[in-house]
Structure formats: C-alpha cells, structure tokens
Amino acid sequence: MTSSFADSIQALDQQLIQLVYRSRSLIEGAEYDKLMATCLRNNPSRGITGVLISHSGWFLQVLEGSAVNVNSLFKVIENDPRHSDFLLLRFNAIETRDFSDWSMASIEVDEQRFLNLANQALQAEDVAMSAVRDFLCYGKWID
C-alpha cells in the first residue's frame, strides 16, 4: 500500500460523521439507567457524542464522531441482544457536531414527535437534529 493511499484511508477513518438509527429496545428502568451510565462513561474516550431518543420501547439514536469510532460502536450496538428491528436512517459526513456538548443525552418523547424525528432523519432533513439540539439547550420544543 502506498503512503498516499494509506493516508487517504486514515483520513476517511477520521472523517466526522453522524449516524442515526432506529431500533426496538428490550430494556427499561434500571437497565436503561445502566446503559446510559455506560454511554456517559465510555463515549468521551472514544470521541462519541449524541442523543438517545426513546418512545414506548423504541430508540432513535444519533451518534457523532470519527467514522472508525462510530462504525465500531454501531457494530457493538447492532449485535447487542437488547435491541432488535434495526433501521439505519442516516449516515453522512458532517462539518460540525449537532450534539458536541453531550456524550449521550437522553430524551423521552411522544409517539408523534418520535415518528416526525425519525421521518425527518430518514429524509436527511437537518431540521430534526436542530429541533432535538434546541430542546436539549432550551428545555422545550420550538416548532
């Protein structure tokens, strides 16, 4: 492998990306709290930021970081038996993080908001991430 090719591969691995997926969660209560504690403990050292949005046993999660770290974490999550019905909604390069202040924020929403956010993420509409970020910053939904 030539040096320039290896440098190009490494540069792609370090590209800042945002990944959004939806899954069925098989956890609740204390197990959910334990999951969040693990995220808050492990994500900073991996350079991962994001938010976990939940509604009635469904997760919508946003992961941000280098391509190599986000992909590695997503593989772990995808193989976790506490999840099922995965659907990758969005995977794209980003210039800046939407959730740089949160190693993993957590929000519970109603069904309509969950469906709207998932649909907007699937349609690659940045308005979904902006709405979630605004909620985290201001404590209310700005519609």
Say whether pLDDT at 58 is over 90. Answer: yes
Q: Give the per-residue pLDDT at 27.
A: 84
Mean pLDDT of the chain: 87
Please determine, for residue 15, whether its predicted confidence score (pLDDT) is greater than 70. yes
Is it the case that residue 86 has pLDDT exceeding 70? yes
Q: Which residue ranges form the domains of the chain, and what is each CATH number?
A: 15-138 (3.30.70.100)
Cα dihedral 81, 82, 84, 89 in deg (nearest 10) = -110
Alpha helices (H) along 19-139: 30-46, 67-78, 111-122, 127-138
Regarding pTM above 0.75, the answer is yes
- Residues ≥6 apart with Cβ < 8 Å to 98: 18, 62, 64, 129, 130, 132, 133
> For residue 17, what pLDDT is reported?
94
- Please report which confidence band the pLDDT of residue 12 belongs to, taking 50, 70 and 90 as the band edges: low
- pLDDT value at position 94? 92
